[in-house]
Copies of this chain bind each other. A is one copy, B any other.
Amino acid sequence: MLHAVVPAGGSGTRLWPLSRAQRPKFLLPLTGTDSSLLQATVDRVRLLSRPDHVYVVTGAAHAVDVARQLPEVPGDNILVEPSPRDSAAAISLAAAVIAEREPTAIMGSFAADHLVIDGGAFAKTVEKAMELAATGLLMTIGINPTGPDTGFGYLRLGAPVGPGYQLEAFVEKPDQVSAVEYVSAGNYLWNAGMFVWRVDVFLDQLKRHRPALHDAVRTLAAAWDSNRREALFAQLWPTLEKISIDYAVMEPAAAAGKVGVVPGDFDWHDVGDYNTLGQVLKANDKVGNVIVRGTGDALLSEAKRNVVVPAAGRLVAALGVDDLIIVDTPDALLVCPRDRAQEVKGLVEELKQANRTDLV
């Protein structure tokens, strides 16, 4: 039985105006259904878990929304960080809290803002990772690349082991030439930031590579169900090193031969922008228009391959336009070609510089 941890952080400015500082990507219904990415992630891990074995780690700013979106997750399993201190602190805290309850539990960590359509295939892959995690490896799940993407880090496979491989190395986001090499080489997978391990094994590696972080999250976890939790958080949390879980634990552990990898046999999407969203979701008609489920209607006339988000309860009428992004929200509207979806980030910067913080 898996203890599933869902770190729910990040903003997603390329998904403005739907995503805002107060309404980050993981809270948005970008799944082709009414579920948010967070809700879909929790639904997915529930195939391998029990409701009281699901944990979410999120920031104070989003605790209320997370609680409301996930009424079935026990309150004590929603770990609220007083301030963001990167993924090592968030994931280590969850591991320590789980270890208090079940010292050799197998834990998986799955980001809240990724989209996986086939939950069954996802579960089968995680089960393979659990099998290897039980033997004492820190497991990661690698995605079979669909192309030489430079937006992801890569995992270089080593020797086969059980249903997976040793992980030879984590590889940073490559340039285009290297990405093409990796994909044609065949022994590289995308690093999707999914981890599976026994909490005792993980905490042992954490103690070895980041002892201060280890001691702090252990102290916090030991006081979890006591009245000292808040005071300890106030005292310890601001002192924690801001570092990613990859740098803090996974890379040094990989160098020591302690990390394995299972290839992910499922569609996996980091829905980073509206163009990607349009590629991932099913078209609503035969000419490739994707209408993201919202509160409004869309009327498309002689219009092809557009991504339309009618999220302001209004009619969005598009006539004679192709390959366009149209995102309608109550206080801001975006119109932009799909091939410039990445640049939406720059608009958000412009708004910040113009002091329109009400809109970002």
Which residue of chain B lies nearest to A315 when distances are taken between CB atoms in the complex? B332
> Do residues B319 and A334 form an inter-chain contact, with CB atoms below 8 A?
yes
Interface size on A, residues (CB 8 A): 32
The CB with the most chain B CB atoms within 10 A, among A17, A333, A351, is that of A333
As a 0/1 sequence over residues 302 to 345 of chain A, the CB contacts with chain B under 8 angstroms (1 = contact) are: 00000000000011111111001010101111111100100110
Q: How far is the CA of A318 from the CA of B336 in the complex (A)?
A: 6
Chain B residues with Cβ below 8 Å from A351 are 299, 315, 317
Copies of this protein, total: 2
Say yes or no: is A255 at the interface (Cβ < 8 Å to chain B).
no
Chain B residues with Cβ below 8 Å from A335 are 316-319, 321, 324, 326, 335
Chain B residues with Cβ below 8 Å from A147 are none
Chain B residues with Cβ below 8 Å from A319 are 334-336, 340, 343-344, 346-347
Say yes or no: is A287 at the interface (Cβ < 8 Å to chain B).
no
**Measured between C-beta atoms, what is the minimum distance from A303 to chain B in Å?**
9
Chain B residues with Cβ below 8 Å from A326 are 333, 335
* Other 20 A-B pairs with CB < 8 A, given A316-B333, A317-B332, A321-B324: A17-B317, A299-B347, A301-B343, A301-B346, A301-B350, A315-B351, A316-B335, A317-B334, A317-B335, A318-B335, A319-B334, A319-B335, A319-B343, A319-B346, A320-B336, A320-B337, A321-B335, A326-B333, A326-B335, A328-B333
